[in-house]
Amino acid sequence: MSATAPVAPLGQALTRKRANPLPAIILAVGLIAAIALAALGFLESRKVEPVVVLVRDVAYGQQITATDLGSVELPLHRPAQLAGVISPDTAIGQYAARNLGANDLLQPAMLMAQPPTQPVYPNGESLAPNMVPLPFATATVGPITYRDRLNIGFSDSSGSPDLCDRARAAAGGQHPAAPPSAATQARAFACRLLSSVRVLYVDEGASVAYLELTPYQAHTIWALQAAGLPLWGERYGAASTPLESLDRLDIGQVTLSALSAPAAPGSIPGTNGAIPGDTK
């Protein structure tokens, strides 16, 4: 005998199965949360904070005062390069670590707690310890910058033929040769005194370059000036080979081979071998 399957009542069969409301609730909550986060993000992006700026130029090494500072509002969330200094009290009393300009956003790296221990020039270059600055007229040198070097020489129209040679021998700890006799013909000459001198700063308005020298080098140049010997300068590259000091040359010593030789070590008169005009 076969079993008969139970039959559901007609009303129960026609009744629709109720949908589960949980997915709709989750979707609605997610939308509300996304909208809330977007609103919060927008409000957060609109937040600003005051950041310290300079209202005027401050030279390297100068102490910063409250009158040098102002503020500007920047977004709270900004790139690290624009982090800046938040509190003016952090900067007041500090010293400029480089030349600072008006409207510069003040950064911690622009400040130092102690003033420079060496003299500083407007371009930010500082004098090395135990060195002295020497003003040198640039009228005959032409355009020059602090990135250049300078060769310095002097001219002697009296023609003392042993001046450079004797000075060089004495500076090298040697006994200078005996002075020439009165019968020796004097010829005017030029002498390169120093080579590749560092330029600290150029005052273009005054046509003066301030050079960095040892005290003895500067003293020597002042002595030449006191003796009335005209000084001259040559603009020189920082990467160029330094030339021989106290290199004397008069027009009678010029040779065609040296004059036409390329500028290379060993081909410049005085860079090696005998000194032109040496009487030893």
DSSP structure string for 212-254: EE-HHHHHHHHHHHHTTPPEEEEEE-TTSPPPPTTEEEEGGG-
104 and 138 housed in the same domain: no
Q: Is residue 8 part of a domain?
A: no
Q: Say which amino acid occupies 190.
A: A
Question: What is the residue whose two structure tokens read 């008069």?
Answer: 250
The arithmetic mean of pLDDT across residues 185-214, rounded, is 88
Q: Are residues 253 and 151 in the same domain?
A: yes
Residue 123 in domain: no
Burial 121-143 (b: 16+ CB within 10 A, else e): beeebbbeeebbbbebebeebee
What distance in Å separates the CA atoms of residue 6 and residue 193, rounded to the nearest whole number? 124
Is the residue at 30 inside a domain? no
pLDDT of residue 267 exceeding 50, the answer is no
CA-to-CA distance for 30 and 50, rounded, in angstroms? 36
260 or 134: which leads in pLDDT: 134
> Residue 32: which pLDDT band, with cuts at 50, 70 and 90?
confident
Domain boundary among 59, 80, 112: 112
Q: Which of 237, 181, 193, 245 is nearest to 219 (CA)?
A: 193
For residue 197, is pLDDT > 90? yes
78, 141: one domain: no
Per-residue model confidence as pLDDT tens digits over 148-176: 999 999 988 887 656 666 666 666 666 65
Lowest mean pLDDT among 43-47, 116-120, 222-226, 251-255: 43-47
Total structural domains in the chain? 2
138/256 same-domain check: yes
State whether 212 and 171 are in the same domain: yes
β-strand partners of 203? 208
Q: In which band, very low, low, confident or very high, does the pLDDT at 280 lie, cut at 50, 70 and 90?
A: very low
In this predicted structure, what is the pLDDT of residue 211? Answer: 94
Predicted confidence (pLDDT) at residue 212 exceeds the cutoff of 90: yes
Q: Same structural domain for residues 106 and 139?
A: no
pTM of the model: 0.57
Considering the domain architecture, whether residues 103 and 147 belong to the same structural domain is answered as no
Asked if residue 270 belongs to a domain, the reply is no
In a domain, residue 201? The reply is yes
Strands (E), the chain: 48-54, 69-75, 95-96, 111-112, 132-137, 149-156, 189-203, 208-213, 231-236, 247-250
> pLDDT at residue 81 above 60?
yes
Which of 166-175, 210-219, 252-261 is predicted least confidently? 166-175
**Local confidence band at 60 (pLDDT 50, 70, 90 cut-offs):** confident
The whole domain housing 70 covers 50-112
Question: Do 56 and 106 reside in the same domain of the chain?
Answer: yes
Any domain includes 11: no
Q: What is the CATH number of the domain that holds 90?
A: 3.90.1210.10
Do 250 and 153 have their domain in common? yes
Same domain, 203 and 249: yes
C-alpha span between 85 and 51 (Å, rounded): 6
Q: Length of the chain, please?
A: 280
> Distance between CA atoms of 212 and 200, rounded to whole angstroms?
6
CA 60/CA 44 separation, integer angstroms? 38
In a domain, 169, yes or no: yes
The pLDDT value given to residue 85: 84
Better-predicted residue by pLDDT, 68 or 60: 68
Q: Does 25 reside within a domain?
A: no
Are 256 and 146 members of one domain?
yes
For residue 50, is pLDDT > 60?
A: yes
> How high is the pLDDT of residue 196?
92
> Do 140 and 245 fall into the same domain?
yes
